[in-house]
Amino acid sequence: MYKAFGSSQTSQLLPFTNVNLNTRASRTFSAVKDGGKITVTVRAYTKAGLYSDLSSNGVIVDTSAPVVAKVYDGNVAGKDVKFAKWTNTFSANWERFVSDLLRQGP
């Protein structure tokens, strides 16, 4: 199943596919976008045709790097010192780095 970022709706990328006794499978999809969540459901059958489903907890597609924030020299938040008289201690502070998806919002 596929759930787009910021959406409450899921869509099926692939119907159940028989892989016999294999314990792995892979597919290529073009509909998956950055921030989407993919979960996999495995269905195991008995000889009588009964089955059980088990699903993964999912993986979030993340192709974006964090948006670069500002980094400052010195210990005052949001201020960049140009000169310092200390010689054995250095301080730095920075703005929070966030994912481009979080900055844009859903």
Q: pLDDT for 24-72, tens place per residue?
A: 888 888 878 888 888 999 999 999 999 999 999 989 888 877 777 899 9
Give the residue extent of every domain in the chain.
1-63, 66-104
Report the predicted TM-score, pTM, of the whole model to 2 decimal places: 0.58
Distances (CA, A) of 61 to 3, 22, 49, 64, 72: 10, 25, 34, 9, 32
Q: pLDDT for 84-104, tens place per residue?
A: 877 788 889 988 877 655 555
